[in-house]
Amino acid sequence: MTLKQQVEEQIKESLKKGDKLRLSTLRFLLSAIKNEEIAKQREATDEDVVAVVQRQVKQRLESIEAFQKGGRKDLEQKER
């Protein structure tokens, strides 16, 4: 099973369990993976998925830092 397929399965599990935060996060990740596939015009490999996850983590950390500097505790907590 590829990493993309695992994300899709985890989305289904989160739907069944009603875990809204996890569901939202996984949907956002799947969207980023699909955008990568569109950009590369091919199915994402596991390496592509890992790269997407790393980029997303980096973006989230940068957002948290920016919210901290801007004094936006509400957005900082939401991003965590």
Question: What are the residue ranges spanned by the domains of the chain?
Answer: 3-79
The alpha carbon of 41 is separated from its chain's Cα centroid by a whole number of angstroms, namely 20
CATH level 2 (architecture), domain 3-79: Orthogonal Bundle (1.10)
3-state SS class at 22: helix
pLDDT at 63: 85
Neighbours of 47 (CB within 10 A): 9
pLDDT at 17: 96
Supply the pTM of this predicted model: 0.83
Per-residue pLDDT tens digits for 1-55? 999 999 999 999 999 999 999 999 999 999 999 999 999 999 999 999 999 999 9
**N residues, the chain:** 80
